Structures are given as C-alpha cells and as structure tokens.
Structure 1
Amino acid sequence: MTTNHTPMWKDLGLDIEAHDALLSVLGQAYGDIYLAQENRPEGMGYFDFVMSEVHGQRIQELVDAQAAGRKVIGCYCVFVPEEISLAAEAIQVGLCSGADFAMDEVEKYLPRNTCALIKSSLGFKLAKVCPYLECSDMVVGENTCDGKKKAYETLGTMADNLYVMDLPQVKSGEGRALLKAEFLRYKEAVEALTGNTIDAAALKKGIAIVNNKRKAMARLAALRHNPVLPISGLDALIANQVFFYDNPVRFTDAVNALCDELETRIAEKTSVIADGTPRILVSGCPMAVPNWKLPAVIEASGAVIVAEESCVGERGCRNLTDDSADDMDGLMDALVDRYLAIDCAIFTPNTERAGHIKELAEKSKADGVIQYTLNFCQPYAMEAIPLEKELEETGLPTLRIETDYSQEDMGQLKTRVEAFVELLK
C-alpha cells in the first residue's frame, strides 16, 4: 500500500508519520495474506492495485473532484443510501473502521468494553490517519446500535461536519414512516451540501448506478456457489470491501470483467480448491478494510469461504431498488422498501435473517456456518445463540466466534477453526 505525498496530504491535516506507519503494516499484511495465494484469477490484479493505492490514487481522485466542485460524503453503514448521494452529484465513500489504532487515546473517550468497529472509527479520527475521513465534506453516522449512537455524540465534538441519521428498530408502521422521513431529511441535507436539486430523473440515475454495482456483486456471489470454485473467499472479500470506496462505474466494470474470467475458469474446471474442501458460510458482523483476520485463519485451516452473510457481503448487496416509478415520492418509497429489506440485527423481530442464512447456505453448498461477532457487539451476539440452535436443527454445523481486531487470540482462533474444519471433513 503506497502513498504519493502531494501537497493535498498536508491540506487534509493527516498525521503523515502515523499514516505511513499504518500503511506499512497493512501493506505487509496484505502481501502475506493475499499476494501469497496461488492460482488467483488475473482479474484480481485490478483489486490488488486498488488496495495498493487505497490511500493514493483514489484519494487524489476525490480531492480533484472536490476542486471541480463536487462533494465527498463519508459513511459508516450500508443504511446510508448512495442513490441519493449520487443523484446530487456527490461521491459517497466508506470510512475506515477495520483496524486497531490509537486505542489508548480512544479509551479516554469510550469504555474499554466497546465494540472494536466503533473504537476503530474513533481511533482513526483521533490519530488523523484516514484520508477518506479527513477529506469528507459530510460524515454520516447512523443510529443503529446503542454503542454507535453514543459514540457519535463523542465524534460530533471532534468533527463539525457530522450528520446523524436515525434508524428504526422495527420495519413496519411507524418504523417505515421513520425511515422515509430520515431519507427525505437526508435528501434535503445532501441538496444543501451540494447546491444541487434532486429530481426524479437524477434519482433514477443514481438508482441505476447502484443497482448495476449490486448486480455485479450478485453475479460474483452466484459464481462462488459453483462446485468448481473459481475464486477464494479472501479474494471475494476484497471485492466486497472495495465496493464501498471505489468509483462505482469503474468498480462495476472491473467486477463484471472478473466474473467473465471466473465463468471461463468454471467451464475449464479451474478451481482454487481440491475436491472435498469444506465450504464455509461466514455470518454476522461486517469485515471492513483491513479486517482480514478470521477469513485468513479459515482459509489457512483447510477450508474455503463461499459466502458472507454480512453488511460487507450478501446482506449489503442482496436487494435492488425498484426504479419503475416516475415521481419522487414513488422512488423514495422504493428506496425505503429496499433498505428495510436489510436484515440487520438492530431490528426486532428479525426472523427473516435465519431464513436468509439457510437459503444462502443451500445455494452456496456450504458444509457449515461460522457466526462471526465482534466483542461487545450485543445485537449480533444476542442473535447468535438462537441462530445456532435453529441452524443445527436443520443439520448445518455452526461455530460461534467472538473476537476483535487484535492478534492476541490468533492461537485460540486457529485451534477452534481447525477443529471445526476437521469436524466438517
């Protein structure tokens, strides 16, 4: 992972020394985990380049776009509708929250027993190491879990461009009305930020761009369901992570080109695994860049990941937005319907999630499910126990893993995952 230190880096207010130290560590990890793989599709070269320039070329593109009058909106969650951002000619990017950084400083503001993703988000702000965060004209937080809700109060004292979106806890009735009101409020905020009015034609265009991006990811996900597996779970995870910050049109083209290659590999029976390799579905918390710890352990233990029931995965890409309406109200209703189909653990009841996991396990021919929960993430931890019972009643072996971003539990993780893989064999 590289950085070209143009004047923009000083303008962004980054701590250059800390930033470069972080990138050095992440670059080494990427090389050890990803570039060391054998039999990779050639199309992964694009994603390797994007990751190597994660804080280089893409940041320069954002700064250049800002110089041309466009706005950059940074967000932490799949509930922030990119369709609306694009309709106002803004650029939406995901914000770093997948590595421990400045934890000593973070724990001066947040309790130690706080979810790693939340602590990471604040750590990257305190340490000024994330150029995506520092160059964002608006940072959108969303009140999903209680931890995020309270952490945004703290982040708001450090960032004067923080916008907080409220989210419902139920999907029907008042919950649906709340989400529509919040999307309309967000639309007005984006219009005020950009100076651009969003009409039905502009929103249709934004919907089409995001739908095409999700279609490409659905195509990639479906190819991983084949008995001849043309791509590793690690490589597919990188595509799912890049989804959140790359140019959406360019990204869509790259994923479709990769899928063309994967279809050829399937036809030629070129698989990345040997026959009989256990196939794993990973379910639960999101795995933001550069959180590769558990997937690397799984695939180093003789198994392969064939699907992710996660916000960075199937849950975030599964549904398209109906663009058949010709008026703003109809299109906004369609957006609300699409985002309410996300089966995040914040919702109660959330009975659809178990059905989606079982359906995905069947499609992907998974031999077992690993439920991944970040330490102190109560919504997913609370759902993990009844989900485990329901999945095992159907004969699907399940392993519950709770961890964070540190390397301290690597030995324990390897032991547990290897034992689970042996059980599946």
Structure 2
Amino acid sequence: MQLLLSLLFTTMAFGGPSTDSQQRTENDREIEEVHAVLQESAYEVMHLAGRYFVRTPVSVYELDLTAASVSPLKVHGLTEVWALAESGQGKVIALGRTNGTTRLLIDIFGGDVSDLPLPSELASHAERLTLAAGKTAVALASKKKVFWWNGKQWSDVLLAHAVPSDRDRAYVSPHFVADSLFVALNEGEWAAGLFALDTRTKKMKRVCAPPSDGSLLYLTEWRLSGKRALLMETAFGTARLSSLTPAGQCRTLATLDANFSQSAGADLGVPHVTGMDLGASNEWVVLSGTSGLFHQRKGQWRPMVPGLDDSTGRFGFQGSSNIHLSHLRVLFTTLKVAGDLAIIGTDSVGVLLVDMKTGQIRRVTLPLSKKFM
C-alpha cells in the first residue's frame, strides 16, 4: 500500500492545439499552486513537561491535541527557538538566538528562568546546534564539536570524524541516559553510528554494533523509558529498535526487515520506516514514510491510515477538506504515540492525529513553508 497524497488543480481548457510555451506556462502555474499549500516539515514531535511540541526547520510550535492546532512557541528572551529538552528535574530548556546571540535558557515554563552562559565560541554561532539534557548535565553539538555542562563548567571534544557542514541533512546529536552522554553521527551514506562519550577521558566508543551484514544504521528515534533509552535506527531495508543503559549496554528488542513484512501479512514499506513506538497496550506502532501507520493488535498488523483511493484519487481527512496532490509525494516523517492517539508528522502537509481506536484522523496545519514563497 503506497500512501500518496495529491493536489487537485482546476485548469482551463484552451481552444486549439497547445504549444510548448503554453504547456510550460500551465506546468509553472501548477507548481506554484503546489508550493502555495506546502507547509513546514515536521522534523520531530516532542513531549516535554506534559506538553507537546512540533519542531520544524524554522521554529518550534506548541501542539494542542484537543483543538488540533499549533501556536508558535514564544520564549521570553529568544527571538528564534531552535530546540527544546527536558532535564531530570522536569525543567524545560530552550536553545535559540536573540539579536545575533545564541542563548540557553533554563526552566522556561517555571517562575525563575535562568540564562546558562555558553562558551565564547558559541555565543555568535550561526549554525543551529542540537541540544540534550540529562539529570543535571546539558550537551550541545555542532557538526564538528560536542560541548557539555556538568553543572559547574563547560567542556568540549573535537570530533575525530567531523560531519561536513555543506551536507544539509547530516547531523551530530547528543543524547543522555541519566547523565551518561551518547553522540549520534549521521553523514548520509558516508558514515553513521552511536557512540558513548566518556566525559572524563573525552574518548568515544561505538555502542549498538551494526548488523552482521555491515549496514550503516542511522538514529531516527530516541526516548527515555525509566532508567534506559529506547532508540530506533534505520537503514535501507532495515529498522531496529533497541534499549540502551547508562553503561552503554545495548539490546535489540525488535527488527523490521523484508522477512518481517511478509510474516506480518502487510507491506510495511520497511525501507522507509520513520518511526516506532509503543501503544497503550504495550504493542508496537510502526510508521512508514511511504506506506503510513500500522498498529499491532493481538499479534496481527493492520493499517491505521487509509491509503489513496485509486478510483477517485482522493485521500480524506475526517473533519477537514480533502487534500489532493498530483505533483507531490508526501512523506511521513516522525511518530509519537500518546495512549491510543498517534501523532504523525509529515514533510509538507502538517501533522496528523490518528485515533487508533476509532480510526478518526484530524489534520493540524503548520505555517506555509517560506522555502517556496
């Protein structure tokens, strides 16, 4: 099942044979109409301090699940919000910029917001940094360095294999299990891996070894569950869910591959798995970037998001207008499960809220992408 969304255009019929020039004009107009409805890509859905947020390439928005709407997250002292994280004390930390200065604000929803001074080389850093928080520690990463705050001072380590800054989709991201620091590298097809960083010796050691076939796996999901982390790594044809302890012990919990798709009796679009999570009954929910949402119930897999109706070319969202996209293939980018509700991010048409009990789908619109404006 290929989940395609396509945009229906109303075009005028021109008398007489069309010329190449007329055809190009019509194509340009259709492309403009597609761009006019494209929304910011939902890179990540976050659940912090009991609230939900959506991170896009441009900003961070707060998500209201009841109203099915978003609003820009406004943080006093920041004109741009780049990233959020929650510390072990339940305080939400915001990273962003104001007047050309990078700032890190602690406890943005509390009554006493504090500004954690950054290393001087980061104060005017133009590149967007990634952020993570542990029980008491905080970490930031650029494509060349990892920085961490141990509660008293900042330290840093220069990556032995820095990710080239000209590769837009490449990234370095820090993560914590308790106050143990891990670093994920993703340089596309060139390099990838998850490493434990010893903050005393500044040495990095690979954890969660790649599959026996040597495939490169890229970290696509990370969430804390008690005293461990649940992480999902993907590669073309494989998705692996593992648990990771503070000591760096990694255990595979589930693997999706071509054989799994056959045994599940459904085309899960495994080469494009973008999310895995546990539902209310502790059963797996899987998101494929191209095939939609699948839910495991009593050992059986079933699709939860309706596919494209070939007879009508329609994809319907309950409670909103149908969306038709004939010139664009929309991908599902991220998944967060809240009880029986699946929150699905897309690359261009907002966020979908799927009730996995009733099948109802609501769509949350995001701001239009300025990339095409």
* Range class of TM-score, shorter chain: under 0.3
Task: Looking at secondary structure, tell me which structure has more helix per residue.
Answer: 1
Q: Highest Rg: 1 or 2?
A: 2
TM-score normalised by the chain length of structure 2? 0.27
Q: TM-score, normalised by structure 1?
A: 0.25
Q: Which has the higher strand share?
A: 2
